Every structure is written in structure tokens, then in C-alpha cells.
Structure 1
Amino acid sequence: MASRGKHGGAPAREGEQKREEQAEQQVPAPQGPVLPPPPPVDYGVFMQGLVQAMQTQAHTQAALQAQLEAQCGTYEDCVAGES
């Protein structure tokens, strides 16, 4: 079977192949400082922090709701009075 070009059509000409190879080699160098790869992630620690943050948020929300209810009766009364 005859070799074909990258697109499965007629065989690519040598000039086209050379131009493609040269274009691939002329990738510009990255600008600015080259950063090291990020450190590996410990997903167990990440999940513990996420759960703790969610618990803290729930606790804060409950405390704020309790404070609102203490000021104006029920939460629904406070919300209904705003509109």
C-alpha cells in the first residue's frame, strides 16, 4: 500500500513535509520565567479542609439566622419585611 499524507489523500510532496517539520521546530520559546511544576496534591488533606470550610459556613449561617430571628421574630418575618 502506498504511503499517504497526514489527511489520507494523495501522498504528500517532500516540500510540504519539510515545511511542516520546520514549522513544528520553530515553536517560539515561552516568554517570562519558567515556573517549576506545582507540588503534588494530597487530596485527603484537601477534602478535610473542604469539609471543615463547609461546616464553618453552615455554623456561621445558622448563627446569623438565629441572630436575625432574635431581632425580629422569625426568619420569614425578617425577609417579608424587606420587600
Structure 2
Amino acid sequence: MASRGRRGGAPAREDEPRRDERVEQQAPTPQGPVLPPPPPVDYGVFMQGLVQAMQTQAHTQAALQAQLEAQLDLFRWCL
């Protein structure tokens, strides 16, 4: 009579379940309230906001660059 063993002929330990007795593990069930799906995105509004943010950033960058150049001119004048 042949015993069922694991690969390599080593028998399963008593605390280790056999392959046919194992239950396939599944993702845990989420805890807490289940949230509804997010509302649909209005991509037109999204793009308008994105363009506005990019224009604001370009304006800010230009203002900072002008301020830096003015400070450098003042520094050079003091030398």
C-alpha cells in the first residue's frame, strides 16, 4: 500500500493541510460601509480647470522670473 506524499516523497506534516483539503484563499471582505461609485467626470470642466491652472502657473513663473532679474540687476548695481 503506497502512502500519498508531497513532491520529493516527503509526507505532509500533521499541522499542514493536504492539498485537496485546502480552501482556496479569497480576498478579504471589505469592512465598514460600502461607498457608492464616484459621480461621472465632466471632462470639459476638468480640462478648463487644467488649462486655467497651467495659465496661472505660467503667469506666476513669469512674475517670479521678472522679480529675480530685478533683484539681480539691483545686486549688480550695488557691486
TM range, normalised to the smaller chain? 0.5 to 0.7
Q: Whose helix fraction is larger, Structure 1's or Structure 2's?
A: 1
Which secondary structure state, in structure 1, belongs to the residue aligned with residue 60 of structure 2? helix
AA aligned to 1:36 is P
Listed one character per residue, the Cα deviations across residues 15-52 of structure 1 (whole Å, up to 9, x for unaligned) are x8xx9xx859x764321211111000000000000000
Q: Percent identity?
A: 81
> What is the aligned partner in structure 1 of residue 60 from structure 2?
60
1:27 & 1:64 partners in 2: Cα distance?
Answer: 51
1:35 & 1:27 partners in 2: Cα distance?
Answer: 18
TM-score, normalised on structure 1? 0.54
Q: Confirm or deny that 1:34 pairs with 2:34.
A: yes
Q: Which runs of 5+ in 2 are unaligned?
A: 1-19
Which secondary structure state, in structure 2, belongs to the residue aligned with residue 56 of structure 1? helix
* Runs of 4+, deviation exceeding 2 Å: 26-29
TM-score, normalised on structure 2? 0.56
Aligned in 2, Cα 1:57/1:27: closer, same or farther, shift over 3 Å?
A: closer
Q: Provide the aligned length of Structure 1 versus Structure 2.
A: 54
